[in-house]
Amino acid sequence: MKKKNNFIKNFVFFFGFAVIVLFVYVFLLTEIKSMTKSKSLKQEELIDKKNKIEMNRVELQKLTSEERIVSFAQDSLSMFRPGTEIDSVTVNKQQLMYIINKLNERYGK
């Protein structure tokens, strides 16, 4: 009778242990699937954000390109590039004295 009673206790103990292990296994498996799905969604979001940043960078390069700025300056502001390089700028004496006075006021010489 003791052997049979001992066998039943061992059987119940191992069955309970097996159920607990199986429950933990199923729980961990669902958590892993959930985290994998979340990871893939986050990776897709990251790719979308990187693409958006790259598109903004391209748009910025278009807006700041020299060709666009030159054409805008010529069309809207009526500015033109000089035909040759400017080697010297002529300033009359009165303007030069005004600039020197302003610099002296600002920097205290």
Q: What are phi and psi of 22, to 5 degrees?
A: -65, -40
Q: Identify the residue with better confidence: 68 or 59.
A: 59
- What pLDDT, in 10s, does the model give residues 9-49? 888 999 999 999 999 999 999 999 999 999 999 999 999 99
C-alpha to C-alpha distance for 7 and 1, rounded to whole angstroms:
10
Which residues constitute the domain of residue 99?
2-107
The answer to whether the CB of 91 falls within 8 A of the CB of 97 is no
Structural domains counted in the chain: 1
C-alpha to C-alpha distance for 10 and 67, rounded to whole angstroms:
86
Half-sphere exposure of 50 (CA within 13 A, CB side): 6
- What pLDDT, in 10s, does the model give residues 43-63? 999 999 999 999 999 999 988
pLDDT at 108 exceeding the cut of 80: no
